Amino acid sequence: MTTPALDETDRDLLALLRENARLPTAELARRLKLSRTTVQSRIERLERQRAITGYTVVVPDELEASLVRAHVMITLAPRRSGVIEATLRKIAEVRVLHSVSGPFDLIAIVAARSIGELDALIDRIGELDGVERTTSAIVLSTRIQR
């Protein structure tokens, strides 16, 4: 699928939805100075074009303060990314998975209940067939999240 062309109003709408995806259509319309029907049509079009691929819940750090979060940088053997991605998708502690350029192939953002569980999780990832190496960094705090 091709990347949808976004105009300034689409970008403004997406920015509002990033801040609060539960804003009522009437409130979005008021802030954008558009009709409710226009805003609803734009949202539906953006969903069809996959500019909006879903809505989620963001739990504040203070509610997950007991979790230990880390970025796990993963180096893969050639042609193993599909299998590794499918396996990591099944691990609930893997919250986000990025494919990246540079010295690593993937960066997984993970959350565990303790340092011990995090250590075991990183070992589990490192033992996957096709993972050559992992490097990890524990998240101390989140300064910006949009």
Q: Answer yes or no: is pLDDT of 142 > 90.
A: no
Q: Enumerate long-range contacts of 46-50, CB under 8 Å, 24 or more apart.
A: 46/4, 46/10, 46/13, 46/14, 49/1, 49/4, 50/1, 50/4
Determine contact, residues 28/39, Cβ cutoff 8 Å: yes
For range 55-71, the mean pLDDT: 79
93 and 118: one domain?
Answer: yes
Structure tokens at 77: 């053997």
Domain membership of residue 33 (yes or no) is yes
- Work out how many domains the chain is built from and give that number: 2
Task: Look up the domain containing 14 and give its range.
Answer: 8-48
Domain membership of residue 79 (yes or no) is yes
Domain membership of residue 20 (yes or no) is yes
User: Residues 109-129: pLDDT tens digits?
Assistant: 999 999 999 999 999 999 999
With H, G, I as helix, E, B as strand and everything else as coil, classify residue 92: coil
139 phi and psi angles, rounded to 5 deg: -80, 125
Domain membership of residue 144 (yes or no) is no
For range 128-135, the mean pLDDT: 96
Q: How many CA atoms lie within 13 A of 130 on its CB side?
A: 13
44 and 88: one domain?
Answer: no
List the CATH number of the domain containing 66.
3.30.70.920
This model's pTM is above 0.75: no
Q: What share of the chain is helix, strand, coil (3-state, %, to 5)?
A: 40, 20, 40
Q: Answer yes or no: is pLDDT of 58 > 80.
A: no
User: Residues 64-75: pLDDT tens digits?
Assistant: 667 899 999 999
